[in-house]
């Protein structure tokens, strides 16, 4: 059971790393091209998917050196990850989603875009980012009494 939980945590972390790398790859390619239209042509979409699947960038690139790109399959193998699910959001909508690999090592059940992964501790960073964004927008005050938001904790 513990091994499965550790594996799921590794998978989720890899998904986040891959998502970050995907956004890096997409950001790099959008500098070279005009903005993508709302309804991309099938060939444009296929090319962008191919860049995500085969053009992952490393977490850091040394100045003056060309980044070594890696395929998704190679990255999964490097991190010993049996499967990931990727969704790319464009203009606030899911442009495409795809599952890669299998649910567990040695298994045959494929990962799909509908596969649920445990968020584990990764949700803490996301929550912090969202809270700070709400502070920026003036919708939340970090110095206000937290109990006004925790109404479910009130004693009866």
The predicted pLDDT at position 9 comes to 52
Which residue stretches of 33-121 are H helix?
Answer: 42-54, 72-78
* Sequence ranges of the domains in the chain: 2-115
pLDDT per residue of the chain (156 residues) written in tens, 0 to 9: 555 554 455 445 545 545 554 444 444 444 434 344 445 577 788 898 998 899 998 888 899 998 889 999 999 999 899 999 999 888 888 999 999 999 999 999 999 999 988 877 778 888 888 889 999 999 889 898 888 777 766 665
Residues 51, 28: Cα–Cα separation, whole Å: 10
Residues 134, 59: Cα–Cα separation, whole Å: 28
With beta carbons less than 8 A apart as the criterion, state whether 96 and 87 touch: yes
The residue among 127, 133, 115 whose CA lies nearest residue 8 is: 115
The predicted pLDDT at position 4 comes to 52
The residue among 156, 140, 136 whose CA lies nearest residue 148 is: 140
With beta carbons less than 8 A apart as the criterion, state whether 40 and 2 touch: no
């Amino acid at each position: 059971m513990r091994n499965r939980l550790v594996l799921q945590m590794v998978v989720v972390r890899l998904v986040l790393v891959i998502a970050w790398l995907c956004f890096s790859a997409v950001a790099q390619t959008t500098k070279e091209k005009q903005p993508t239209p709302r309804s991309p042509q099938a060939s444009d979409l296929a090319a962008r998917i191919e860049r995500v699947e085969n053009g992952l960038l490393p977490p850091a690139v040394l100045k003056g050196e060309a980044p070594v790109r890696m395929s998704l399959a190679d990255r999964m193998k490097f991190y010993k990850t049996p499967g990931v699910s990727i969704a790319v959001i464009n203009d606030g909508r899911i442009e495409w989603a795809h599952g890669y690999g299998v649910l567990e090592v040695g298994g045959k059940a494929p990962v799909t875009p509908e596969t649920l992964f445990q968020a584990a501790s990764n949700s803490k960073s996301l929550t912090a980012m969202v809270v700070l964004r709400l502070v920026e927008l003036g919708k939340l005050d970090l110095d206000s009494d937290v109990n006004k938001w925790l109404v479910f904790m009130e004693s009866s």
